[in-house]
């Protein structure tokens, strides 16, 4: 396993450019399979999740040319297989996204139960409930799902809870479905709007209601054509570098990011005492005074993103007072806390007193367990101590990397392949800001 050897205790300073969004790029690669014409995607990050997606696409019939370091041209003139390969498919937590182009073009699809991070059950029931209204039959076995249709039908459907990836799946499924489909209580993340922009540029007819953004209407078309599209910037990357600067009492100018798509985060750190300067496509984050504790709750857009909370925990550990973090999206996403406790963090788990948990939490009630905690109290400021870690989760890995940069002394992080799932050359870019990281690749 590859590892980072980190010598921390130095403020990070400088500027960094943000790559294309992990959670947009690989999904848009899948979306190109809806057309038999070539599409050029730019600002594609060089990360393992993208490589896995490209591999699956090629096995299904796609031809992919890398025309630049962050640019690909992909064309799928014919779908050669209707089954997502088990090995590579299981590595991807969103292999089920392939069902949209496979169903639309071949009427049948089979995919393995999604893998990826161990965050709890994925809400596939919300997707399947909607698909059934579109004339899709679903068969589930122990580790495989098979879906087929004699012809997709338009629908009017309201999701019981919004889901980022489910919304994207249904949008892709409905663009080639005859008639008008209307969906309510959809997710509102900017990566979804970027997917909509891509599909509309390919000839789709998708409208998000400006008066009620949770409503999306799709008028089916007979076919989609090729296009050129630039992938949106990665919000999670921007947050990671901002937190690294704040946790180490430094400053960073983050380039190629629209501050509006991370505004919830920026307001949070401003309330804590950080200095934030917004530009059109950049933002500067500066530690200028001791930070104050804060309370956050994760949730769908426009709330505090669940992917941010592990990384943000490092900042909370350096703030004065008691910060509370409530995780509302996944049944348990505090794996990083025990690692931080090894570094001296003072933290206590708790469960919020909620009258109606089913309406308050975004995860399915059946995914919860008595031993799970949905809240944690972080007491700071804490002088974190260096330690050794073995990671098995993307955001946990990124958060521990920042914590190690905050601690004075040497830390070792094994399993950084998980970090490479979502960050392009993270160690190199942190070193450019002044970090001391030796990357040992095996």
With residue 436 as reference, give the H or E element that holds it. Answer: strand 436-440
With residue 226 as reference, give the H or E element that holds it. Answer: none
Instruction: Report whether 311 contacts 317 (CB < 8 A).
Output: no
Q: Enter the tokens of residue 118.
A: 């161990």
Report in angstroms the alpha-carbon separations of 10 from 6, 246, 257, 433: 11, 12, 25, 10
Position 381 scores a pLDDT of 98
Position 122 scores a pLDDT of 53
Position 333 scores a pLDDT of 95
Q: Does domain 22-230 have CATH number 3.30.300.30?
A: no
Report in angstroms the alpha-carbon separations of 283 from 24, 242, 396: 21, 9, 25
pLDDT tens-digit profile, the chain (442 residues): 899 999 999 999 999 999 999 999 999 999 999 999 999 999 999 999 999 999 999 999 999 999 999 999 999 999 999 999 987 656 666 789 999 999 999 999 999 876 544 444 556 889 999 999 999 999 988 788 999 999 999 999 999 999 999 999 999 999 999 999 999 999 999 999 999 999 999 999 999 999 999 999 999 999 999 999 999 999 999 999 999 999 999 999 999 999 999 999 999 999 999 999 999 999 999 999 999 999 999 999 999 999 999 999 999 999 999 999 999 999 999 999 999 999 999 999 999 999 999 999 999 888 899 999 999 999 999 999 999 999 989 999 999 999 999 999 999 999 999 999 999 999 999 999 999 999 998 8
**Residue 78: how many CB atoms within 10 A of its CB?**
10
Quote the DSSP letter at residue 114: P
Q: Which residue has the tokens 């009258």?
A: 355
Evaluate the omega torsion of the peptide bond into residue 351 and state whether it is cis, within 30 degrees of 0. Answer: no
Same fold, 3-19+234-440 and 22-230: yes
Quote the DSSP letter at residue 248: T
In whole angstroms, give the CA distance from residue 50 to residue 74.
13
What is the β-pairing status of strands 282-286 and 409-414? unpaired
Q: Which residues pair with 295 in a beta bridge?
A: 324
Report in angstroms the alpha-carbon separations of 395 from 225, 308, 421, 423: 36, 8, 10, 10
Position 119 scores a pLDDT of 40
Report in angstroms the alpha-carbon separations of 419 from 110, 155, 168, 397: 29, 39, 24, 6
Evaluate the omega torsion of the peptide bond into residue 165 and state whether it is cis, within 30 degrees of 0. Answer: no
Segments making up each domain of the chain, as ranges: 3-19+234-440, 22-230
Domain 3-19+234-440 falls in which CATH fold?
Answer: UDP-n-acetylglucosamine1-carboxyvinyl-transferase; Chain (3.65.10)
Report in angstroms the alpha-carbon separations of 169 from 164, 196, 398: 9, 11, 27
Position 155 scores a pLDDT of 98
Nearest one of 74, 28, 31 to 231, comparing CA atoms: 28
pTM over 0.85: yes
């Amino acid at each position: 396993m590859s590892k980072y050897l980190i010598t921390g205790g130095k403020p990070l300073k400088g500027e960094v450019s943000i790559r294309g969004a992990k959670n947009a790029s690989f999904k848009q690669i899948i979306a190109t399979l809806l057309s038999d014409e070539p599409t050029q995607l730019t600002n594609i990050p060089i990360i393992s999740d993208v490589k896995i997606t490209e591999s699956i696409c090629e096995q299904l019939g796609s031809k992919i040319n890398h025309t630049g370091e962050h640019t690909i041209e992909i064309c799928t003139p014919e779908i050669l297989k209707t089954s997502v390969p088990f090995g590579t498919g299981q590595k991807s937590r969103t292999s089920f996204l392939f069902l949209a182009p496979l169903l639309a073009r071949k009427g049948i699809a089979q995919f393995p139960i999604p893998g990826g991070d161990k965050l709890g059950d994925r809400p596939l029931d919300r997707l399947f409930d909607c698909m059934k209204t579109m004339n899709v039959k679903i068969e589930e076995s122990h580790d495989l799902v098979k879906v087929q249709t004699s012809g997709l039908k338009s629908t009017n459907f309201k999701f019981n809870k919004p889901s980022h990836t489910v919304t994207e799946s249904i949008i892709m499924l409905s663009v080639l479905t005859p008639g008008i489909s209307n969906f309510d209580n959809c997710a509102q993340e900017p990566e979804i709007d970027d997917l909509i922009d891509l599909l509309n540029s390919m000839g789709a007819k998708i409208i998000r209601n400006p008066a009620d953004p949770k409503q999306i209407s799709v008028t089916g078309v007979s076919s989609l054509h090729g296009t050129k599209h630039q992938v949106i910037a990665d919000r999670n990357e921007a947050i990671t570098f901002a937190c690294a600067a704040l946790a180490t009492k430094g400053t960073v100018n983050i380039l190629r990011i629209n501050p509006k798509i991370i505004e919830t985060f920026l307001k949070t750190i401003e309330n804590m005492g950080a200095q934030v300067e917004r530009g059109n496509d950049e933002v500067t984050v500066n530690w200028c005074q001791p930070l104050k504790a804060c309370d956050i709750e994760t949730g769908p857009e426009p709330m505090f993103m669940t992917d941010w909370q592990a990384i943000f925990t490092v900042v909370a550990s350096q703030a004065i007072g008691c910060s509370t973090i409530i995780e509302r999206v996944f049944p348990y996403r505090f794996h990083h806390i025990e690692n931080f406790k090894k570094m001296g963090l003072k933290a206590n788990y708790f469960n919020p007193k909620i009258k109606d948990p089913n309406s308050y939490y975004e995860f399915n009630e059946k995914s919860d367990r008595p031993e799970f905690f949905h809240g944690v109290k972080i007491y700071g400021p804490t002088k974190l101590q260096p330690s050794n870690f073995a990671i098995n989760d993307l955001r946990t890995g990124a958060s521990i990397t920042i914590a190690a940069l905050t601690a004075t002394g040497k830390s070792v992080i094994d399993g950084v392949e998980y970090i490479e799932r979502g960050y392009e050359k993270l160690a190199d870019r942190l070193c450019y800001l002044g970090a001391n990281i030796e990357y040992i690749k095996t």
